[in-house]
Amino acid sequence: MEFQQIENKLDSEKELPDNTRFLEVIANLNPCLAEDETLLLSYYNKVKTTWSSSAIKSLQKATGLKLTSKLNRCRFAIAAAKFQLTELQLTSFNIDVDIDPTSKLSTSCEVSATKKENEEIVKQLEKQLKIKSEEIQLLESQLLNTQEELEVKEEQLEEQSEQLNQIENFSILLLTHRLLAPGLPLNGTEESPAMRVLGSPKTRTELESNYRELIRREHPDVSVHKEDVARARFSYVRSLYRITRDYWEVLKPTAVITPEELKTRMEARVPFDPSSFWVR
Provide the pLDDT for residue 123: 85
Q: What is the pLDDT of residues 229-264, one digit of tens each?
A: 999 999 999 999 999 999 999 999 999 999 999 999
The top-scoring range by mean pLDDT among 142-151, 156-165, 248-257 is 248-257
Indicate whether this model's pTM tops 0.75: no
Longest dimension (CA), the chain: 130
Provide the pLDDT for residue 219: 94
Please state, in angstroms and as integers, the Cα–Cα distance from residue 216 to each residue in 18, 57, 193, 203, following that order: 76, 58, 21, 20
Mean pLDDT of 115-120: 80
Q: Report the Cα–Cα distance between both ends of the chain, in Å, rounded.
A: 67
Q: What is the 3-state secondary structure (H, E, C) of 71-125?
A: HHHHHHHHHHHHHHHHHHHHHHHHHHHHHCHHHHHHHHHHHHHHHHHHHHHHHHH
Provide the pLDDT for residue 105: 43
- 208 by DSSP, 3-state: which? helix
Confidence of residue 173 (pLDDT cuts 50, 70, 90): low
Average pLDDT score over the chain: 81
Provide the pLDDT for residue 115: 75
Exposed/middle/buried for 211, CB within 10 Å: 0-12, 13-18, 19+?
Answer: buried
Mean pLDDT of 18-24: 77
Q: Are 94 and 112 in contact (CB under 8 A)?
A: no
Give yes or no for residue 93 having a pLDDT over 60.
Answer: no
Mean pLDDT of 158-165: 80
Q: Domain coordinates of the chain in residue numbers?
A: 3-143, 189-277
Quick one: which of 183, 71, 184 has its CA closest to 129? 71
Mean pLDDT of 5-11: 41
Provide the pLDDT for residue 61: 87
